[in-house]
Structure 1
Amino acid sequence: MARFRKAQYWIFVPGDAGSVAAVPHEVLVKRAHLLSVLGRWEKAESDLLKCRTPGGIPGQAEFSSQVLLELAGIRINQGRLGEARELIGDYESGGLDSAPERKMNLTNLKGKLAFYQGDLTAAKCGFRRVMELAESSGQQIHKAQAGLNLGNISVMEGDMEAAESFYRKALTISEELQDVSGIGMALGGLGILAAERGEHQRALECFRRDLDIGLRLGQAQTVAQTHGNIGQLLADMGRFHEAMDSYQEQLEITRRIGDAPGTFNALYCLASCASELGKPAEASDCLRRAADHGIEWSMATEAAKALLDLAGIQVEAGETEAARATVAELLALGEEVRDRSLIERALSLKGRIG
């Protein structure tokens, strides 16, 4: 699973639910898929790489392409989007996307990739196509997942009524299929909606049910994401110490499983809580770590966001030279920063501090 945020809350985006071809390496790929769902990406990748050879598996081009899709899904979850794009490109070059199941999985991954890159139009188009394919082929689980994804986009667009409709339909399908994981993701979405509406207790109940499901299923990324949601909800309620505990839980898991975007989020939110508690030194430390992490993982926009906040704290503390250096570091990221308002704000701050 991957994750996206709206108004500081994590939004779950389910992965593909495809099966693999009946070939000698079938067990490895199935195990890799399960390990990936559990957030054990290194072990999943190890299994998949055992199945991948430079020329593919003789006579099993379809199977080799499935390996590419599984690897692409892992890369998206890790935030390694460039590598994911390359893997999807390799898959498409094989010309094996005509079957409904493969087409749904491919379109779903491309939608997730577009969503991560902030292209909501392309993501919405992709997920709607998945919904159409799922309805025409009777694939209810894909229909539910597409509904969750479209609900996520509706939240980001501010259309809460549409989002609730998508989430509730996905919940109904998941309950009919007894898909516990799907039920958890739908509850997570409904929790986000409740939080946006200021219904804190209802949101907390949804998040805790989602957390319980993630723990029972052993889904590490889901557990991390839900800790992040609970942390944000507690912060909104002014319970910053408890929020920091939740973010720390999130951080420990994301580090362990190699979830780069999740690790940045946890560090950034820890900094926010520390600032609210009047602990600028602790906030600065978390922001510095978040910025370094963002730069290391080619998340320039995220790194710029952390650097801008760090410079702000340094200015307030009278650390002009440090703030000047931080702003220079931000501006050096240049065109890699997608949110140009961050550059504009950095230039404004540079003008103020000289």
Structure 2
Amino acid sequence: MKKRFLSTFALAGVAALTMAGCTTETGTTTDDSTGESTEETTTEAGGGDEAASDVITVGFAQTGAESGWRSANTESMQAAFSEENGFELIFNAADNDPAAQISAVRNFINQGVDAIVIAPVVEDGWDDVLQEAASAEIPVILEDRTVSASEDLYSSWVGLDFEAEGVKAGEWAAEQYGDTETKMVVLEGTTGSAPANDRAAGFSSAIEGTMIETIDSQTGDFTRDGGKSVMEGYIANYGVDGIDLVFAHNDDMGLGAIEAIEAAGAVPGEDIKIITIDAVKDGMQALVDGKINYIVECNPLLGDQAADLVKKVLAGEEVDKAYYVEDQAFDQAAAAEVIDSRPY
């Protein structure tokens, strides 16, 4: 895919266009695919039927609410696809169930939405439903995560370079610990998801040839409880003294690992070093407190870029296939300088 890098707010001005003279009606509907009630807001412009037709109806299929990062991402999307910006948003969170998410997308197609935005739970299994959207002439924008389906089946994608995040984390680990024998355990993200696959590949490539040895690697499903549970198992199997380093694919799993390490009577960040990815507020605070040693950012504020892409695609404008938002990385001192000003 062709890469184009964007700053976090590069498209905010375009995405924040508002519609004058609007009135709103809010109601609750039930998602046939999940049985969950969803609040929907319909926006009508004061200019009558012609102006009302300018409202863009978008179905957004979110992965779930598994982490602080995901919550911040959802808030960003809901703010960007607001009635003030000319949208009616139909929101579905799949609770990290790929089948439920695909069912929700089919429901969007049946409702005849103008566009669909998906943060795919996993990469595989999307070919059929994306083809159905294409046959219905409903454009699809991917955000955050990618799919293995043909690029012809979606219009564009905006998100982060997960492999580069893994490389950044791995390069720091190699610099700090690569010259000494280091036993590492990994807390993987959701099995089959793009960030889990790519972060693992990037980190592994960066530590190749060092003295860092991966002694175990299991999924914690990007959740704090999952990270804690897996870390408890690692400590039971290897003991605190048998683990030198934890690489967690996101902050929440790293925070769960902290709980497990402390419960075992050890000091996170000292007895066992921790590297994570995300840089959400709780993770950054743990870094400032010395319980995490290094964090690579994964910026969740993708709403403005996604909304801008939807408008461009519906207007028939040419867009690139991929837009990457650049990430930062933080040690303890860098985190302390910015934590109070960060929006997530």
Q: TM-score, normalised by structure 1?
A: 0.29
More strand by share: 2
Q: TM-score, normalised by structure 2?
A: 0.29
Q: Which has the higher contact order (CA 8 A, sep 6+)?
A: 2
